[in-house]
Every structure is written in structure tokens, then in C-alpha cells.
Amino acid sequence: MTDNLLTTPFGARTTAAEVLADIDLSGRRAIVTGGASGIGRETARLLAAAGAEVTIGVRDLATGVQVAEEIAPANGPGTVDAAPLDLADQKSVHAFVAAWRGPLHILVLNAGVMASPLERTKEGWEMQFATNHLGHFALATGLHSALAAAHGARVVAVSSVGHVNGGVVFDDTNFEQRPYDPWAAYSQSKTANVLFAVEAGRRWASDLIAVNALNPGRITSTRLGRHIGDISNSPASFDPTSTDVSWKNIEQGAATSVLLAASPLVEGVTGRYFEDCNEAGPHRPGVRRGVAAHAVDLHNAARLWQVSLDMLATVSTAA
């Protein structure tokens, strides 16, 4: 964390369209994971409306193609297409990376699962950590050369205020030695998103790749909360009466993502955590804002990077 926090004219009620007003992304190429619904769809739609060539990574290709057709600009240089991508399946991630050609200017790591029942990948990895972190880690590192070729690329990791509830338990990331708690697993995976931004920002600065993480706010009407059911089933810290975390609609929820993906206001900024279109300060106990110390700890960030490499090294991605 820096002592001087970056601020912008935007805030919690700003929409993504307002952030991208008058920004021309013609000639830029972007990938948005989870771009078929929610804030991912809005992010992809507006990047394309600004002129970018956008690929949405989707598990259901038929649905993805339909969404791409719906959100593609009616005219202008921007385009939207869809490609199969299952972040919980390393073969799928590998195939997506292998199929990519040319430079990549914007990578928005948006897809995610929240508070799901215990499920494991075929490698035995806990599903939230595997999807929210490892899948995105493999995607971003696999696309590193394409990002470097853009000479000024941006990577955006969508985290959550939920990261403040707990860090990465390095000795038991997959809940093999402790009882499974869906919210603890979610918090761990969202902390991992921030730690990734911290370490990737450090490692890739010389390649002119900016990497930042964000809390989009508590977004209404998305599929992310499908495992929760009624809001009363979520922990007290997510109580809808709380004024600590901003509740937003989808148009507002995508604003911080597109700010980090395309705004000149954050040019050259890397390794930081944002909320409500501004850099977040340190988290304070009892407040649902800010970035937790465990999520920006340099030792934790470096350790997670190596742990992630070690885990992926055990996987065969052969066809």
C-alpha cells in the first residue's frame, strides 16, 4: 500500500459508461472472463462500445455466442466474440491460451463463484480457490507474452470486500485438514486475487503490464450469489442494512473494472486495490471497506505465486 492513495472524480454511484465516456479503445484487444452475465457482460459491452475487440471467455459457448451478438456494437470498430473457457479445467485454460494470437491489451479476470458447497476439481483442488484464483492465475501467466507484446497492457482482477474475512491458509488451501466453510473458502480465494495483483504488478512492471485488483461492491441481480439463496443465509458481515460496502446495480458495479482496464486516470498504476473507482485505504476492523493487510503483504504475495506455480506444475494439459 502507498501512503498517497490515488483518487478520481468518480465514486460509488458512477456507472461504467460514465467512466468510459470519450475514451477511444480502437485497435485494443480485450478478454473478459465471465463475460456472459452480470458485471462481466457490462464490462465487455462497454469496452466494445469504446472500440475494443473483445473476447468473452465462457463455459457455455452457445450462450456466449448469443450474448456476444447481443452486446456487440451496431456500428463502429468494436467487436465481441466468445470462446470456450472453463477456469476450473486446466485443459480448457491451456486450450484458450494456445488459441490466442497477437497482442493483448486488456485482461479482465472477472469470472467467479461465491460460497459454493464443497466441490473439488479432478486434481482435488477446492473449487472456489481453483476457479477464482488458480484458473485466472494460469490464464494470466499463460498470456504473459501477449500482454507484454501490447507495450502497456492492463490486467484487472475482480476481488471482493469478502477478502477481509480471511487470508490464504497456505498449509491447507484445499480444506483437506479443516472443516469446509464456504465463506472461508470464498474469502481465501478473493484474498488470492489481491495477492496476485500485488506480485504480478511487481514482476511484470518492466514489461509495462499494469495489474490491479478491485472490490466491485455488493451487486444486485447477478448469478454470483446463486449458491446463497435468500440473503439471510449469508453471514452477518454481508447484511444488506450495512452501509460499509456500497450496494450497486450492474451498471455501477462494472465501473471500477473499466476504470482499471481503460481509463487514462490510472495510467502506470500497478499492484494496488481499488473500490468505488478510487484506491482503497487500509481496512479497519468492523468496517466493510478497505484492503486487508494480509492481502497486500509482499511475503504472502510471493509465496502464493510459488504455491500456484507448484500446483499447476502437477497438472497435465495434454489433449
CB atoms within 10 A of CB 287: 13
- Mean pLDDT in residue range 239-266: 86
| 1: pLDDT strictly greater than 70 | no
What mean pLDDT value characterizes the chain? 92
- Which residues are paired to 56 by β-bridges? 32, 82
Share of the chain above pLDDT 90, in %: 87
Least confident of 84-93, 242-251, 259-268: 242-251
Angle between helix 182-203 and helix 298-313 axes, rounded to 10 deg: 100
Angle between helix 38-49 and helix 61-71 axes, rounded to 10 deg: 40
pLDDT of residue 165: 95
Q: DSSP character for 54? A: E
CB within 8 Å of 121: residues ≥ 6 apart: 88, 89, 127, 130
| 164: pLDDT strictly greater than 50 | yes
Q: What is the pLDDT of residues 110-127, one digit of tens each?
A: 999 999 999 999 999 999
Share of the chain above pLDDT 70, in %: 91
The CATH superfamily assigned to 16-316 is NAD(P)-binding Rossmann-like Domain (3.40.50.720)
Q: For residues 226 and 115, what is the distance between their CA atoms, to the nearest angstrom?
A: 9
- How would residue 3 be classed by pLDDT, with cut points 50, 70 and 90? low
| 192: pLDDT strictly greater than 50 | yes
Angle between helix 255-262 and helix 38-49 axes, rounded to 10 deg: 40
pLDDT of residue 238: 45
pLDDT of residue 263: 98
Catalytic residue list contains 186: yes
Q: What is the pLDDT of residues 59-95, one digit of tens each?
A: 999 999 999 999 999 988 999 999 999 999 999 999 9
pTM, 2 dp: 0.93
pLDDT of residue 2: 52
| 243: pLDDT strictly greater than 50 | no
- Which residues are paired to 82 by β-bridges? 56
Q: For residues 276 and 289, what is the distance between their CA atoms, to the nearest angstrom?
A: 10
Torsional class of 103: left (φ above 0), alpha (ψ -120 to 50), beta (otherwise)? beta
pLDDT of residue 241: 46
At position 82, the amino acid (one-letter code) is: A
At position 236, the amino acid (one-letter code) is: A
For the purposes of burial, counting CB atoms within 10 Å of the CB of 318, is it exposed (0-12), middle (13-18) or buried (19 or more)? exposed
- How would residue 244 be classed by pLDDT, with cut points 50, 70 and 90? low
Q: Which of 186, 204, 238, 273 is catalytic?
A: 186
